Every structure is written in C-alpha cells, then in structure tokens.
Amino acid sequence: MSPAELIAIARKAQERAYAPYSGFKVGAALLSSTGNVFTGVNVENSSYGLTVCAERVAVFKAVTAGEKDFSCIAITASGNGYVYPCGACLQVLQEFSPDLKLIISDEKNNYKEYNLNQLLPRAFMLQS
C-alpha cells in the first residue's frame, strides 16, 4: 500500500475523531504485516486525562483483532503542519514493531517518512 493510500484512510477516519475539548482531530491508519489496515481517532473525555490518542486506538484495535506486527502507520490531523505522535504513542508502537515506518502528513497531505527509532531512539525496555 502506498503512503498516499494510507494517508487517505487516516484522513477519512479523522472525520470521526471525538475532540470537542481541543477541537484538534487526529486520524491514524496502521498497516499490519498481513496487509490489514486498522484505523484510530482521538477520543477525548470531559475528564481530560482520560483522552486516548488516535495512534493508540489503532494499535489496541489491531491487537484485539489478533494482529501484533505492523509495517507502517500514517497520521493525519486537523491542524497546520506536520503532527508528530506523542511520546506515549511512540512507546506503545515500539512495543510491537520497533522497525515501524511512520508517515507524518501535513494538512495538504504532503508527508515525511521516519523509522520509529528516529523518533524514539532510546525506548524503554523492561529488563528481565
């Protein structure tokens, strides 16, 4: 699947974001190694700290469906410029796919590509 196709899926999902408090809508499209795409949107709450980001919603949906290996995620948002995932989402993404490719889109669907280890070079790892 091309970056443009994955961005289009994230952008479509973004319409369904629940963001009445920030007004900032985010969409994510997570491509699994088996070729399935899982979308996510940010889901806010009047108790602000309960908000969940779009990226984590996509991961949790995928894991619930039995998928734990991902090749790529596209992220779109309603603001201007490139919107990068927060640190919490990067940590959740690296739990499953440390080699993940991230496609970060701006409002015109221009995009930049990164590897997860560029954005989170020293992820937390539980030592056993």
Residues at the site binding ligand THU, with contacts judged by CB under 6 A: 19, 22, 24, 26, 42, 44, 51, 53-55, 85-86, 89
Task: Give the SS3 label for residue 76.
Answer: strand
Considering the complex, what minimum distance in angstroms separates the CB of residue 23 from ligand THU?
A: 9
Residue 44 or 67 having the CB closest to ligand THU: 44
**Pairing between strand 37-41 and 101-105?**
unpaired
Catalytic one of 5, 15, 44, 55: 55
Told to judge if 15 belongs to the known catalytic residues of this protein, a careful annotator would answer no
Q: Six-digit token pair at 12?
A: 């479509």
Give the Å distances, CA to CA, from 116 to 1, 19, 72, 103: 19, 26, 10, 10
Cα 90 from Cα 77, distance rounded (Å):
16
Considering the complex, what minimum distance in angstroms separates the CB of residue 122 from ligand THU?
A: 19
Considering the complex, what minimum distance in angstroms separates the CB of residue 93 from ligand THU?
A: 10
DSSP symbol at 43: B
Residue 34, phi then psi, degrees to nearest 5: -90, 0
Residue 19 or 62 having the CB closest to ligand THU: 19
Residue 31 or 89 having the CB closest to ligand THU: 89
**Active site amino acids:** 55
